[in-house]
Structure 1
Amino acid sequence: MLSPEVLHALRNLPLAARQAVEGFLHGQHHSRQRGAGLEFSQYRPYQPGDDLRRLDWRLAARSDRYYLRESEVEASLTVHLLLDATASMNHQDDNGLAKLDYARLLLAALAYLARQQGDAVGLTVLHASGHQHVPPRADTRQLPRLFHALEQTTAAGRFPAPADLQSLTARAQKRLLVCVSDLYEEESEIRGLLARLRATGAEVLLLHVLAGNELRFTYRGALTFEDLETGRTVQLNADQQRAGWLSRQQQWLRETATAARRQGFDYHLLDTAEPLDQALRVFLQRRQAAL
């Protein structure tokens, strides 16, 4: 698997998404159902009302019996991608890759993978003034729409107010919602939104994205840290604070994971320094469970 840093360096989101997914799908077991797809499965006797175009006329000529060729088609659903584009997502790892860069790569790859599975895919970008929405579709022009929206996304401000997000809670059948966020919030506003969406019947896959230097606190010496959303600053000695930081962070991550799973979310922590394969695998597993 190519690293996120290499994929980002391509500066071509459609190509990066295809490269990330291309090798991953090989050997994967897809969820399938009987239907009129392209891959032959078996024969079954003709019944009145069946589509005669699926009748095997050669077999009928040889045996004087009428059989239809049954195929396998992949089951599909609606996948709704949700991107946290608040200012904290601008935080960069030591390699210069921002959490927003990683999130864009990840969501582009998930969109590509979902279309490969035959799903309708949509995208909502959450930002300070509300949200940008690309309605779910399954047509051939949807991926370029999604890639363009992701490429144009910038991170700024704080999480939007609940009143600005009411339209997101519309009920949809067979919907899998995938949220990518760093979960930096003041009063659980992100998880509050996901809980409301979960209450509409959506299956929620929460991908918690943090940079490697956040997870491992790789900073050295005396530094000034700035909150990207509030502008508040704090001065500290990284070497002196490392043990306490890591201890408090691990406690926060445990509490976050426990709370998310208690709310019915499928929660996974992702490191921006790691390839996308874990998230793609988790997505396929959750997709199969949602069908």
Structure 2
Amino acid sequence: MLTPEYLHALHNLPLAARRAAEGVLHGAHASRRKGAGMEFSQYRPYQPGDDLRRLDWRLAARSDRYYLRESEVDTSLVVHLVLDATASMNHQDDNGLSKLQYGKLLCAALAYVATQQGDAVALTVLQPRGLQHLPPRTDSRQLPRLYHTLENLEAAGRFPDAATLAPLTARRQPALTICVSDLYEENGEIEQLLTRLRAATGEVLLLHLMARNELEFSYRGAVTFEDLETGQQLQLDAGQQRRAWQQQQQQWLRETAHRARTHGFDYQQLSTAEPLTQALREFLRRRARG
């Protein structure tokens, strides 16, 4: 099992994504998609990054234009990755890995798996200063674009306001939306966004990131906690508060999972100390059901 800290230590997101995906892809189904199958379906104009082996050179010689032959092998799936990059995602686990660093690895691996399945992959990064968005593409340059965006990403600020988020749900397009977030919110804004995304795209898989030091409350002695988004501080004795903290947190997690499923989301809680395998397999299971 490849640990997330090992993958992060590679300092090579494409390699980390490929290594993380190797195990779960073994024996996985390919999707139905337009591709290079045996039964001819249609031509489409060549776009930079397309596989040159699929060019119809005879047609190019006659028309001086480049077209690809497509076959109806299967219908493709649009996979829309939505990554929370607000300041709370800077929370660091005992292994030295932040939620954002884990989220980057997870999104990169999910994109790699989806691409290997023939799916079109999109990425949206949620930040208060504006959305970073890569539209869904299946060409060979999409993964490098996505990796570059993730590699240069830093977490900052609070969750974006409704006006900033509006373009995400303005257009209805069937897709599997995968949201990676710690669900740190003030007034249900993440839940509201995902509800609108489900109405616009049809399917939402929510991957809820939690650090192990949060889940186990592994702190000792007098501790000062600081809210990464508001700067507010709280001082407490970890030993005295551990049991109450864990009880309240478990109650919150149960309520969070229940609300997510009530809204029709697929919900999966993840620890940033665990390998990416669980989330990748959940994606493939969800994809197979669709």
Q: Give TM-score, length-normalised by structure 1.
A: 0.85
Q: Which residue of 2 aligns with 1:243?
A: 243
Structure 2 CA distance for aligned equivalents of residues 99 and 289 of structure 1: 29
Question: Closer, same or farther in 2 for the Cα pair 1:120/1:244, shift >3 Å?
Answer: same
Question: Closer, same or farther in 2 for the Cα pair 1:118/1:233, shift >3 Å?
Answer: same
Residue 24 of structure 1 deviates from its aligned partner by 1.9
Give structure 1 stretches of 5+ with no counterpart. Answer: 41-48, 52-70
Q: SS at 1:37's partner residue?
A: strand
Q: SS at 2:194's partner residue?
A: helix
Output aligned runs, 1:73-222, within 5 Å: 73-222=73-222
Q: SS at 1:24's partner residue?
A: helix
* Kept after mapping to 2: 8 A contact 1:76/1:119: yes
Q: Percent identity?
A: 67
Question: Closer, same or farther in 2 for the Cα pair 1:78/1:31, shift >3 Å?
Answer: closer
Q: SS at 2:187's partner residue?
A: coil
Question: Closer, same or farther in 2 for the Cα pair 1:207/1:3, shift >3 Å?
Answer: same
* Aligned-partner residue type, residue 85 of structure 2: A
**Larger Rg: 1 or 2?**
1
* Kept after mapping to 2: 8 A contact 1:92/1:211: yes
Structure 2 CA distance for aligned equivalents of residues 163 and 78 of structure 1: 25
Q: Which residue of 2 aligns with 1:253?
A: 253
* Aligned-partner residue type, residue 8 of structure 2: H
Q: Which residue of 1 aligns with 2:264?
A: 264
Q: SS at 2:6's partner residue?
A: helix
Residue 154 of structure 1 deviates from its aligned partner by 0.4
* Aligned-partner residue type, residue 2 of structure 2: L
Structure 1 CA distance for aligned equivalents of residues 34 and 110 of structure 2: 25
Q: Which of structure 1's runs of 4+ aligned residues deviate more than 3 A?
A: 29-36, 71-75, 170-174
Q: SS at 2:163's partner residue?
A: helix
Output aligned runs, 1:49-68, within 5 Å: none
Residue 30 of structure 1 deviates from its aligned partner by 4.2
Give structure 2 stretches of 5+ with no counterpart. Answer: 43-70
Structure 2 CA distance for aligned equivalents of residues 96 and 50 of structure 1: 51
Alignment RMSD, CA only? 2.1
Residue 23 of structure 1 deviates from its aligned partner by 2.4
Residue 36 of structure 1 deviates from its aligned partner by 6.2
